[in-house]
Amino acid sequence: METISNIEEIDIQKYLQVIKRRWLPALGAIALTVTGASLYAFSLEPTYRAEGSVMIKSNRTSSLTGLSEELGRLEALTQNHNPLDTQARIVTSNPVLQETIRALDFRDKEGKLVPINALAAELNVEGVKGSDVLLISYSNPDPEKAAKVVNTVIDKYIEQNVAANQTEAKTARKFLSKELPKARKLVREAELELRRFKEKNRIIALEEEAQAAVGTITKLEEQISQVQAQLAHFTARLAVLSDRAKVEPQQAVISADLSQTAGVQKILAQIQEAESQLALEQTRFKAGHPGVVAQQKRLEALKNILQQRTAEVAGTDGQFQAGDLDLQIGEIRQGLIAEITRVEAERFGLEQQIIKLRNKLYTYKRRANYLPQLEQNQRELERKVKAAQSTYETLLTKIQEIKVSENQRIPNARIISAALIPDAPQGPRKVPFIIGGTAAGILLGLIAAFGLDLIDRSVKTVREAKEVLKYTVLGVIPASGKNHKNSSSIAGVNRSIPRIIGKDIPQFPVGNAYQILQANLKFLCSDSQLKSIVVTSSVSREGKSEVAANLALTISSLGRRVLLVDADMRHPIQHHTWGLTNAIGLSNVIVDHVDINAAVTEVTSNLDVLSSGVLPPNPIALLDSQRMATLLSNFTQKYDLVIFDTPAVVGTADAAILSDLTDGILLVVRPGVVDLDSANAAKDYLTQSNQKVLGIVINGVNLKSEPNSNLYYTKEAIDSATTLNEASLIKQTIFKVIHKNEDINSK
């Protein structure tokens, strides 16, 4: 929760800072808007306000007669809307206002009817809360005209309401008249479909048929049970008779038929005679004798004839041979066979009866199982018929009701009070205009402030610098007076000269800020001491040279030997800062191998300065040479700290080349000078080239424009960064520098 609160507080502070930065254009927008609104308010002439009221009601005649209540009822389509709002919009609609203008013959100076917007601008319609009343008011310099407008608007609204009700009824009647034949056709189609369904399924009364089917099925099942019992009785009797006659029932039936056939009995007699003749011949002659063979052939032919006639009588297609049947039986056995035949016939009849009963039972059960589906289909068709009939009857009723409503001329509104001519003008409207102008001015001022701030692409605050670069903030140097010294007195110099603490800028608060910076650098590497650093910036004019000079001065005042090297061989400035010549410098030492002692100048105790020297055509070649690496090694052995003042990162590679030879880069950022694109470009370049960035120094900060500025710099912070003895040394060193520079300038 604390984190969320802090974020919200920071955001509010951010918005307040925008207003503080852009207060002048915001104040101008507010002043212009308020002035314009005030002038307009005082130029208004007095107006008179007439007011009338109308009550919105339902169609009482429809309610009393019970006919077409829906046509006279006012309802909202949604629960969140009031029907009065809809009626208020109708009062101010173009048709009502147009008829009002024509009725009153409102014309402008050119003789044309005034536009609808001109009338609507002064017409106000609102509903009274908790009632069904609309208040209609109109303001005009002419009191009589104001009253006429209100009364005419009410009259035209009521006329429009009556016409709308009649039009609605007429439209509904025409529509329903077109739908009536369709509804009648649907009734006929539904009734025809129901009739065809009943005819197809032979339906008279399904409920009665279902009850009758249950009784019939029960009776059929009882009959089947009875016949099955009789069948079992005859089957058992047939088995007993067959056992006594030693014959199967089927054979008994066939034997009985054959015994009653004359042709079969005649052939049997001939066969017996032929067998006797054959036996006689066989006693007289040997086998193979022509007489014996002739008798055998005759006997064989008679047997074939018997077999053929037996098959014809029995109808067995050769299933039984003549030898299998007892073709000549006695009277007793003949009686048994006759009884078997009778019982078999009875049994067969019972079997056929069971088959017929079962088929009939299956038919009834199938019909009974299908009855529920038929009932369901019939109910659906009956509902369809009923729905069609109901729709048709409803349409007939509605058409009659609408015809009555169509002839009515009763509106849904009633005049409660007509507008009277006002006696006195309404109260002054100056205050609302002024208040509205003030509110609009504040809004425009905020829009102007935030719009200008949005257009401005520069880094504006310490917070933005931290968010964009995402490096550790090692120091915040506050702005003090003018940003730079006046350089017009130095011949040939068109750039601003960096300022020195104690001479050009005060010790407090700027000098104390540099003490905090050197303390942070000291604590940055607790294990090892920084020996060399590169001071650069994203773009020019951010004060990197001034930061490098004052940082060198501050550290040297603590007793450490410091060498300040002006490595900006494109636009050198340090020799002007310290009042030195630039005849011999870094470029001469690298190229011409000039003695380093001749090029270095001691500007104060423990602080030496090496200017850039003669400007070379290719500074990168010098900085990236082995000679430069050797010089840096010698510098770090002789001095406690070497500070290089290099060109800006964007557009040059000087700082990156020197950074590879030193302990890291100190990046200077000046709010209001560096833009977001350049800062991001510098950040990307340093990241892609794997440069070690020690941190950033935010220079030229206006503490009054910064939220929580006391966090960046307080007097107590100095006490934690340096001891009292160190502070004394700083003051003594600054005093010496001031006097030495004055001596150099005088010479």
Residues 249 and 243: their CA atoms lie apart, in Å, by 9
For tokens 């010698």, what's the residue? 634
Instruction: Indicate the DSSP class of residue 498.
Output: P
Residues 563 and 602: their CA atoms lie apart, in Å, by 9
- Please indicate, yes or no, whether residues 587 and 606 belong to a single structural domain of this protein: yes
- Please indicate, yes or no, whether residues 512 and 475 belong to a single structural domain of this protein: yes
In-domain check, residue 332: yes
DSSP string across 629-647:
HHHHHHHHHH-SEEEEE--
For the ranges 119-123, 458-462, 687-691, which has the lowest average pLDDT?
Answer: 458-462
pLDDT at 732 over 80: no
In-domain check, residue 684: yes
- Please indicate, yes or no, whether residues 217 and 199 belong to a single structural domain of this protein: no
Last residue of a domain, one of 179, 203, 227: 203
- Please indicate, yes or no, whether residues 193 and 218 belong to a single structural domain of this protein: no
DSSP SS3 for 1: coil
Residues 628 and 633: their CA atoms lie apart, in Å, by 9
pLDDT at 256: 55
In-domain check, residue 378: no
- Please indicate, yes or no, whether residues 165 and 111 belong to a single structural domain of this protein: yes
Please count the structural domains in the chain: 3
In-domain check, residue 444: no
pLDDT at 695 over 90: yes
Mean pLDDT over the full length of the chain: 77
Lookup: tokens for 8: 């919200």
Q: What is the pLDDT of residues 669-689, one digit of tens each?
A: 998 888 888 899 999 999 999
Which domain does 506 fall in, by range? 462-485+501-746
Cβ(412)–Cβ(59) under 8 Å? yes
Last residue of a domain, one of 168, 203, 238: 203
Q: Mean pLDDT, to the nearest integer, of 245-266?
A: 59
Last residue of a domain, one of 321, 345, 372: 372
In-domain check, residue 398: no
For the ranges 267-271, 537-541, 585-589, which has the lowest average pLDDT?
Answer: 267-271
- Please indicate, yes or no, whether residues 707 and 616 belong to a single structural domain of this protein: yes
In-domain check, residue 407: no
pLDDT at 131 over 90: no
Quote the percentage of the chain above a pLDDT of 70: 74
- Please indicate, yes or no, whether residues 143 and 171 belong to a single structural domain of this protein: yes
Q: What is the pLDDT of residues 380-417, one digit of tens each?
A: 888 888 888 888 888 888 888 887 777 766 777 888 88
CA angle 739, 743, 747 (to 5 degrees): 170
Burial (CB count <10 Å: 0-12, 13-18, 19+), residue 507 = middle
CATH of the domain at 612: 3.40.50.300
DSSP string across 415-480:
EEEPPPPPSSPPPP-HHHHHHHHHHHHHHHHHHHHHHHHHH--B--SHHHHHHHH---EEEEEE--
- Please indicate, yes or no, whether residues 301 and 346 belong to a single structural domain of this protein: yes
In-domain check, residue 131: yes
- Please indicate, yes or no, whether residues 538 and 608 belong to a single structural domain of this protein: yes
pTM: 0.46
Q: Mean pLDDT, to the nearest integer, of 322-328?
A: 47
In-domain check, residue 289: yes
Confidence of residue 304 (pLDDT cuts 50, 70, 90): confident
Confidence of residue 714 (pLDDT cuts 50, 70, 90): very low
Confidence of residue 174 (pLDDT cuts 50, 70, 90): confident
pLDDT at 239: 79
Query: With left for phi above 0 and alpha for psi between -120 and 50, is residue 481 left, alpha or beta?
Result: left
- Please indicate, yes or no, whether residues 565 and 680 belong to a single structural domain of this protein: yes
pLDDT at 400: 84
